[in-house]
Each structure stands twice: as structure tokens, then as C-alpha cells.
Amino acid sequence: MLLSTVLLGFVPGTALASAIDSRQATGSITVNLAQTYQTMDGFGTSEAFQRAVTIKRLSETEQRKTLDLLFSRDKGAGLSILRNGIGSSPDMSDDHMVSIQPKNPGGPAAEPKYTWDSSDNGQLWVSTEAVHTYGVRTIYANAWSAPGYMKTNGNDANGGSLCGVSGATCSSGDWKQAYANYLVQYIKYYAAANISVTHLGFLNEPDLTTSYASMRSSGAQAADFIKILRPTLDKNNLTSIIINCCDTMGWSVMNTMLGQMRSVESMLGTATGHSYTSTATSTLSTKLKSWMTEAGDNEGAWTSAWYSNGGAGEGMTWANNIYTAVTSANVSAYLYWIGAQDRSSNTNSKLIRVVNKAVEPSKRLWAMGNWSRFVRPGAVRVGASGSGVRTSAFRNVDGAVAVQVINSGSEKPVTITTSGAGFVAAKAEAWVTDNTRDCNSIAASVDASGKVTGSVPARSMVTFVLRPAAAGK
Ligand SMILES: *[C@@H]1O[C@H](CO)[C@@H](O)[C@H](O)[C@H]1NC(C)=O
Ligand SMILES: *[C@@H]1O[C@H](CO)[C@@H](O)[C@H](O)[C@H]1NC(C)=O
Ligand SMILES: *[C@@H]1O[C@H](CO)[C@@H](O)[C@H](O)[C@H]1NC(C)=O
Ligand SMILES: *[C@@H]1O[C@H](CO)[C@@H](O)[C@H](O)[C@H]1NC(C)=O
């Protein structure tokens, strides 16, 4: 939209350009559209554990501000995936997510006694906004645990396993089918509210026992359940639902679980892992899509800085974390833990905090946004290389090519040349994010051969968007 002014803003050979050139050699970035990698599903976050409830309590103005920051492509990060928690708790005390069947119906074969409060711990509201106001298409429904009465320890918290998977026998019987039916019912409640759940997970951090909803599982035990879940979904005409597994605490743990799940890999859709005990720095050994479904600086004191000293909560750190996961770990999606939170906790576990009703985004949100807004669902990562900067590139469904450049050194002029797929850049735009600028438009020009020239300021992330002549956008 700012195209015409941007295009001519930077003319190589002007005093400014030559001043820059004399300080540092030009970095050449080459983008090869003929070399293709993973297809992206997007970037996202969660309002689970009643974070949605606390946001819903704000005034309408503050609610809108929060939702805009999360999902709007003009006013916010333009996140494209929402991860919801499927409740397993008997009540909503503290931050419990209440179950759709809080009480044992009388055994695994008994007639189910589901209840629906049309709130789902506030998440139906966030989902409705995400989907119908902002056009989000990917809803990941993820259970942290089965309800307690389906588990070996009789509690939805404190670990325990699903009764009926290998090595987990219970006097109450085998609950695998009942748990599969329960998850199907949850999806049906959402469908009745006109929200299509697209991805379903039945485990969260199965390698960890905690005092909140948690359920242990090995890969073999997860496979036992998937053998029941997939046909149950299919029988209910939910063939398009993609099963995600297993949201392990550490990324590398997912490899161990996958090793025990080869027999059900064809029933699975996405291999999912978190970035706590190990981060997403290498590929999982699977042909399935991989998603990094939870990361956060959950202990660090709140910061909204882009860059100060490379701390774990800073925006530039997250821009780099995402870069590594996308380029080295082959992820098709990257999700931060909590989106917005209005609860007393002064850590970086969320992207946006609300204090005394004041909505405050961090630069972590904008780091997510600088990826999410430009790398849209369906974009295919393509070859990109450059010296002295970290770079990646994607071809979007609309034909535009987005090139990310992260520069942790001093200001660097760059050129971008593309090859492959018959792509010739005819228009170029660039946006910079650093300590003082908030995705400000900066100069980028393109010559008759399609070569793009621009500059990447010190300690910044710049996204170039290249469009072919025919796209007309
Ligand atoms: C359901 O959602 C779709 C968009 O996803 C919308 O076009 C349609 O009007 C909605 N239907 C109802 C009954 O709200
Ligand atoms: C699934 O769809 C078929 C064909 O539309 C229909 O006959 C059947 O009743 C549906 N089954 C369920 C469980 O909704
Ligand atoms: C990357 O992920 C895709 C699925 O999205 C898979 O087909 C491909 O084999 C993976 N590549 C590597 C190197 O693991
Ligand atoms: C990029 O980050 C800056 C803050 O550093 C933010 O103001 C800007 O809106 C972000 N851009 C996008 C597209 O999210």
C-alpha cells in the first residue's frame, strides 16, 4: 500500500547509500524458488487455563484491543493458529479447565453424560472472534489429560495414564473408546457453534507429571490410543480432523516417542513438540509435518524490549528462535505459550499482559507478527542464503515472496536475487523492526532484472516482500 513512496525511496549511489557501502560490503542474498521445503500452517498461541476468561472480563474496548493485537493483520500480529485446551477438570476453581463430562457416567460402557456450557473456559468466545472476525482457519484443540475417572490415578492432575493403554489396567475397565468418544463430542460442540476444529491432540507434555492437568504416556501407549481415535473420528464423519501428537515437554523427546509409533504414523497428521527441556533445533525423524506447539520464557521477569542484552524474553531472541525452528527443525507452525493474560504474574509466559486493565504487548508479540503477517498459511519455504545475516524465504499462496533477514551485527546493505519457478520481482517492499522502529516501512528498490536492493539496520529484523508483475498487489 505504501508501495509507490517506498519504491523510489532508496536509490543506490545516493550519498546515503555510498556512505553505507563504504562501511561494509554489501550482503548478497540469493533466493531459489526451485528449492522447496516445508509448507507452513502458521503461527499461533493459546488462551487456555482460563486466560480467555480473564480477557473476556475486560471492557469491550480492551477486549477488542487484545484480540486485534493477537489476530489482526493490520493492527496486530496476524496470528493464524489458536490452540485451545480441552478441559479435564471437575470444576473451574483456580485456573482449572472444566470438562464436558465432569462426573464419571458410571463406567466406560455407560451412557455418557456430557454437558456444554457454551463457554468452554472462555475459549469458544476467543475461537469465534479468531475465526469469524479475523479469518483464522486453524483451531488446534488439545487435551492436557483425560478426566480423572478415566485414569490410573483417578485424578486429571498429577500424571497417571489412560486406563486401557498397554501397561495401564484399571478396575473400572478400558476407557480408550470412551476417551475417543469424549474428544469427538467436544469437536461436535464446536461444530454446532460454527467453529471447525482442524487439529486434535489428546496429550500435553506426557513426559512430565505436574500438579495441574497432566497425563503420562509413552509412544507405545499413544499408539494404542491412536488406533482407537482415528477410526472413531472417521466413523463420525470427522475424516478431515488431523491428529496431532504428542506435545512433548522437550523437542527431542518427540523423536523417542515417534520411534515407538511407526505402526500408527499413517493415522497421524502432525508431530508436535514443545521447546522446554530441549528446543526445536533439528528435524524430527518423520515425513509428517512438524509443529513446535509451545515455547515461552516462563520464568524471566517481564520485558517488552526488542533488544537489550539478548535476554530470554526479548523480541529479537524470539525472532531468532522462530528462525531456527523454521529453517533447522523443519517446523510448519510455531506457537508461543500464552497470548494475552490478565492475571498477576510478571513473567514472559505471555505475549501480551494486562495490568490494571491496561493492555501491553511485548516485542515477543511483534517478533511473532513479523513472521506471521508475511508468512501466511500455505506458504512454502524456499531456498535462501546470504552471508553475514540469517535469512529465510517463503513463497505465499498469493504469489508474493517474503524474505526475512535478521542482522545481529551493524547496518548492512543487501541485495536479493531470485531464481527458479519463473519468478521475477517487479515490486519490493521492506519493513524494519528494531529497538526504536515498529515495523516501519523502509526503502527497497528493484531493478529491471528483478534484483532487489535495500538495507538491514543493526540488530534488526527486516522483511522484504517481493511481488511479480502479474500479481498486481
Ligand atoms: C458459519 O461460519 C461461516 C464462516 O466460517 C459463515 O459464513 C456462516 O454464516 C456461519 N453460519 C452461522 C449459522 O453462523
Ligand atoms: C456421515 O455422513 C453420512 C453421509 O452424509 C451420513 O449418512 C451419516 O449419517 C453421517 N454419520 C454421522 C455419524 O454423522
Ligand atoms: C520436512 O517436513 C516435511 C513435511 O512437512 C517432510 O516431508 C520432509 O521430509 C521434512 N524434511 C526433513 C529434512 O526432515
Ligand atoms: C514487527 O515488530 C514491531 C515491533 O517491534 C511491530 O510494531 C510491528 O507491528 C511488527 N510487524 C508486524 C507485521 O507484526
Distances (CA, A) of 199 to 245, 411, 419: 10, 42, 35
Using the predicted structure, report yes or no on whether residue 331 has a pLDDT greater than 60: yes
Is 84 in the same domain as 114? yes
pTM higher than 0.75 = yes
Cβ–ligand 2 contact at 410 (below 6 Å)? no
- For the Cβ of 363 lying below 6 angstroms from any atom of ligand 4, the answer is yes
Protein residue with least CA distance to atom 13, ligand 2: 236
Q: What integer pLDDT is reported at residue 436 of this predicted model?
A: 84
Element (H, E) at 136: none
For residue 250, the enclosing domain spans 41-372
Is 389 found in the same domain as 348?
A: no
Residues 201, 368: Cα–Cα separation, whole Å: 23
- Answer whether residue 11 is part of any domain: no
Which residue's CA is minimally distant from atom 2 of ligand 2?
Answer: 237
Contacts of 460 (CB under 8 A, 6+ apart): 406, 407, 432, 433, 434, 437
In this predicted structure, the answer to whether residue 177 has a pLDDT above a threshold of 60 is yes
Classify residue 119: in a domain, yes or no: yes
The answer to whether 441 and 6 are in contact (CB under 8 A) is yes
- Amino acid 14: pLDDT: 33
For ligand 3, atom 6, the nearest C-alpha belongs to 287
Evaluate whether residue 287 is within a structural domain: yes
CA of 167 to the centre of ligand 3 (A): 33
pLDDT digits (tens, 9 = 90+) for 278-287: 999 999 999 9
For residues 366 and 391, state if they share a domain: no
Q: What's the gap in Å between 438 CA and the centre of ligand 4?
A: 5
Q: Are 417 and 340 within one domain? A: no
| Site to substitute for ligand 3 among 39, 40, 287, most atoms within 8 A of C-beta | 287
d(CA 204, CA 210): 11
Share of the chain above pLDDT 70, in %: 94
Please indicate, yes or no, if residue 2 is contained in any of the structural domains: no
Q: Give DSSP secondary structure letters for 187-227.
A: HHHHHHTT----EEE--S-TT---SSB-----HHHHHHHHH
pLDDT band at residue 26 using 50, 70 and 90 as cut-offs: low
Q: For residue 210, give the C-alpha cell.
A: 505436574
Q: Count how many domains the chain has.
A: 2
Q: Which of the residue ranges 119-123, 227-231, 389-393 would you say has the lowest mean pLDDT? A: 389-393
Tell me how far CA of residue 121 lies from CA of 82, 84, 114, 295, 353, in angstroms: 14, 10, 15, 22, 19
* Residue range 136-173, pLDDT digits in tens: 999 999 999 999 999 999 999 999 999 999 999 999 99
Q: Is residue 25 pLDDT above 90, yes or no? A: no
> Would you place residue 6 in the very low, low, confident or very high pLDDT band (cuts 50, 70, 90)?
very low
C-alpha 264 – ligand 2 centre gap (Å)? 25
User: Is the model's pLDDT at 11 over the cut of 50?
Assistant: no
Residue 306 near ligand 4, beta carbon < 6 Å: yes
Separation between Cα atoms, residue 51 and residue 296, nearest integer Å: 15
pLDDT at 24: 44
- Domain shared by 407 and 291, yes or no: no
Strand-pair category, 460-468 with 425-433: antiparallel
Identify whether 6 is part of a domain: no
Of the three residues 350, 372, 394, the one that is the final residue of a domain is: 372
Return the DSSP state at 229: H
Ligand 4 in reach of 370 Cβ (< 6 A): yes
Residue 84 CA to ligand 3 centre (angstroms): 26
321 lines ligand 3 (CB under 6 A): no
Residue 330 has pLDDT above 90, yes or no: yes
pLDDT confidence of residue 470: 66
Assess whether the C-beta atom of 289 lies below 6 angstroms from ligand 3.
yes
374 CA closest ligand 4 atom index: 13
**Cα dist. 82→138, 140, 142, 238, 341 in Å?**
7, 6, 10, 19, 15
From residue 307, give the alpha-carbon distance in Å to each of 296, 301, 464.
Answer: 17, 15, 21
Is residue 331 located within the same domain as residue 419? no
Decide: 433 in ligand 4 pocket, CB within 6 A.
yes
Please report whether residue 17 resides in a domain. no
Does one domain contain both 31 and 175?
no
Last residue of some domain: 329, 353, 372?
A: 372
Same domain, residue pair 283 and 428: no
Of 439, 459, 464, best ligand 4 pocket probe by most atoms within 8 Å of the beta carbon: 439
User: What's the confidence (pLDDT) of residue 462?
Assistant: 93
Q: How far is CA 113 from CA 100, 162, 185, 389, in A?
A: 8, 19, 11, 57
Nearest residue by C-alpha to atom 7 in ligand 2? 237
Locus of grid cell 497425563: 215
Output the pLDDT for position 3. 26
pLDDT at 15: 33
From the CB of 236, is ligand 2 less than 6 Å away? yes
**Beta-ladder partners of 85:** 142
The ligand that comes nearest to the alpha carbon of residue 73 is 4
Average pLDDT, the chain: 92
Residues 53 and 31 grouped into a single domain:
no
* Percent helix / strand / coil, the chain, rounded to 5: 25, 30, 45
Taking phi over 0 as left and psi of -120 to 50 as alpha, with beta for the rest, 320 belongs to alpha
Query: For residue 247, is pLDDT > 70?
Result: yes
Give the pLDDT mean for 440-465: 94
Q: How many CA atoms lie within 13 A of 364 on its CB side?
A: 33
pLDDT at 133 > cutoff 80: yes
Nearest CA to ligand 3 atom 13: 283
Do 361 and 385 fall within a single domain?
A: no
Q: Is 191 in the pocket of ligand 2 (CB under 6 A)?
A: no
Ligand 2 pocket check for 185: Cβ under 6 Å: no
Both 350 and 397 in one domain: the answer is no
- State yes or no: pLDDT of 19 exceeds 70: no
Ligand 2 centre from 237 Cα, in Å?
6
Q: Is the residue at 70 inside a domain?
A: yes
Same domain, 233 and 367: yes
With the most atoms of ligand 2 within 8 angstroms of its CB, the residue from 237, 240, 241 to mutate is 237
Q: Is the CB of 208 under 6 A from ligand 4?
A: no
- % of the chain with per-residue pLDDT over 90: 89
Q: Please report which confidence band the pLDDT of residue 437 belongs to, taking 50, 70 and 90 as the band edges.
A: confident
Question: Which of 36, 37, 242, 327 to mutate to test ligand 3, by most ligand atoms within 8 A of the CB atom?
Answer: 37
- The predicted pLDDT at position 17 comes to 33
pLDDT for 8: 26
Q: Which ligand sits nearest to residue 290's alpha carbon?
A: 3
CB atoms within 10 A of CB 356: 5
- Judged by average pLDDT, the poorest of 19-23, 323-327, 331-335 is 19-23
Output the CA 184–ligand 2 centroid distance in Å.
Answer: 14
Q: Is residue 175 part of a domain?
A: yes
Final residue of a structural domain among 346, 372, 398: 372
| Closest ligand to Cα 237 | 2
Higher per-residue confidence, 233 vs 472: 233
| Pocket flag, ligand 2, residue 346 (CB < 6 Å) | no
The pLDDT-based confidence of 250 (bands split at 50, 70, 90) is: very high
